[in-house]
Structure formats: C-alpha cells, structure tokens
Amino acid sequence: MSKNIQNHLWDRKETRLERTFVLPSFQASLEFVAAVGALAEECNHHPFIAIDYRTVVLYSTTHDEGEVITHLDHKLAQKIDAAFATIN
C-alpha cells in the first residue's frame, strides 16, 4: 500500500515517489511540464513524465543509488509542489 511522504502528496510506489497532477487544460499541462523540466535541470535530477490531456504523472527515483528514494527525490518533489501551487 502506498503512503504519503513528508507531508506532501507524493506516494511511495516500489522504489520511487509518484504524484498525479490534474490541470485545467492541455496547454496548462504543457506549461507545467516545461516548469518541471526547468526545475529538474536546476537540480540535475530528472523525473519520469507522462502527459494525458489535463493529467500529468511524475515519478522520481535516484538511479545512481540503485533505484531508491533519496533526498534528491524529496527535494525535487518539494520544488515541483511549489511550482504547481503557483499555477493552481
């Protein structure tokens, strides 16, 4: 069973943090993904991204540590949460 991690809305699924975001439009989804991309580059930590119209699914794991959740995943998740809060 998944559970919320560190007071935000990311779920632990196997060896990754995952969250689904629902945005008001496809254009908003694209803009959000662009913002996530910029944050990922800033952190040098890149999540899996899937877009389906207004729904964006992200997950993060640390490949260099053997596919486990590390502080890098939590840091990126917090930055993504903050970016999402500004558009929603």
Q: Tell me: the pLDDT tens digits for 51-80?
A: 999 999 999 999 888 889 999 999 999 999
Check whether domain 11-87 has CATH 3.30.1360.20, yes or no: yes
Report the pLDDT value the prediction gives residue 5, as an integer from 0 to 100. 45
pTM of the model: 0.87
Report the pLDDT value the prediction gives residue 1, as an integer from 0 to 100. 32
- Domains of the chain by residue range: 11-87
Task: Quickly list DSSP for 3-69.
Answer: -B-TTSSPEEETTEEEEEEE-SSHHHHHHHHHHHHHHHHHHT---EEEEETTEEEEEE-BGGGTSB-
Report the pLDDT value the prediction gives residue 65, as an integer from 0 to 100. 87
For range 80-87, the mean pLDDT: 93
Report the pLDDT value the prediction gives residue 88, as an integer from 0 to 100. 67
